[in-house]
Structure 1
Amino acid sequence: MSHSRTWVKRIVDSPFFKEAMEKSTLLFNQNQVGLLTLIKGALQKVQETAATNNLTVVKLLNRYIVLFSELIKSYVQGSYTKLPLVTLVKITAALLYFVMPFDFIPDFLPFVGFADDLAIVVWVGKAIKEELDEFEKHL
């Protein structure tokens, strides 16, 4: 197992990501307004992160956050419903993890604070790549 895979596995197995998965399931099943609020918060945070960092990784993070947000918004509005619930829960969990200020690596730490957020977002993005590609065709 590679070092980066081990690191991502530690984040996925952390109580922080497990909490995000639990909250994600509740949000998706019971609170569509909360989902839309989450999307707004994630888009705002990624915009702030992009404004203060001119890194290629921030551009990748931005791409996934925007795509995840569009996908959930389309699902809630009923214009795109081709995804299984488990995929939507993973996407929502990644967004929740991203907006959580205290997680595996707290966001207030300079330079490294969003490394775990990036790892989770990219991990989910790669895990559902085919679904994201299909959704992008829909846009």
Structure 2
Amino acid sequence: MTRKITFIDRILSSQFFKEALDKGEDLMANNKYGLLNLVKRALQKVNETAEQSNLSVVRLLNHYIVLFSQLIKAYVQGTYRKLPAVTLAKIAAVLIYFISPFDFIPDLLPIIGFTDDLALVLWVGKSIKQELDEFEKQM
């Protein structure tokens, strides 16, 4: 019996995500200031997106991008170190993927262009939900 390939599987196996993951791992290992710049750019993009739309999916995207950004800031500041570096690299990769206008489904396509971004953000959020809940309690 073969396993059905899901939408998230296609995103994760795309060249776009692989490049974002490589960049995320590099930032985690070598460039803490680059991580902070990434956070700034992701927050700018999600704020612009939220201003342009009142859709509940955009609010959900906003929630996770803000939470991921706070988590990375806390890591860089040394105030939260409970997540493994590989998990933080995945979060960084998601933020890199999110700010890139050219990915699996280009953001230039209205509404539908954020489908892959949202799927990826929700996938990471779901996979580390317990850790995110614990982080939110400590904030």
TM-score range, shorter-chain basis?
over 0.9
**Equivalence for 1:84:** 84
**Equivalence for 1:105:** 105
Distance, in Å, in 1 between the alignment partners of 2:111 and 2:132 is 28
Q: Among all aligned residue pairs of Structure 1 and Structure 2, give the percentage whose two residues are the same amino acid.
A: 63
TM-score, L = length of structure 1? 0.96
**Equivalence for 2:37:** 37
Shift of 1:86: 1.2
Over the residues paired in the alignment, what is the CA RMSD in angstroms? 1.5
**Equivalence for 2:13:** 13
TM-score, L = length of structure 2? 0.96
Shift of 1:133: 0.7
1:73 aligned onto 2:73: yes
Distance, in Å, in 1 between the alignment partners of 2:64 and 2:3 is 23
Shift of 1:2: 9.7
Amino acid in structure 2 at the alignment position of 1:18: K
Structure 1: gaps spanning 5 or more residues:
none
- Deviations 1:6-29 (CA, angstroms, capped at 9, x unpaired): 011101111100111000000010
Amino acid in structure 1 at the alignment position of 2:83: L
Shift of 1:110: 1.2
Structure 2: gaps spanning 5 or more residues:
none
- Deviations 1:56-100 (CA, angstroms, capped at 9, x unpaired): 000100000000000000000001111111110111111010001
Distance, in Å, in 2 between the alignment partners of 1:107 and 1:39 is 19
Amino acid in structure 2 at the alignment position of 1:109: L
- Deviations 1:4-56 (CA, angstroms, capped at 9, x unpaired): x7011101111100111000000010001110000000000000000001100
Amino acid in structure 2 at the alignment position of 1:16: F
Amino acid in structure 2 at the alignment position of 1:105: I
Distance, in Å, in 2 between the alignment partners of 1:89 and 1:130 is 17
Distance, in Å, in 1 between the alignment partners of 2:111 and 2:93 is 23
**Equivalence for 2:125:** 125
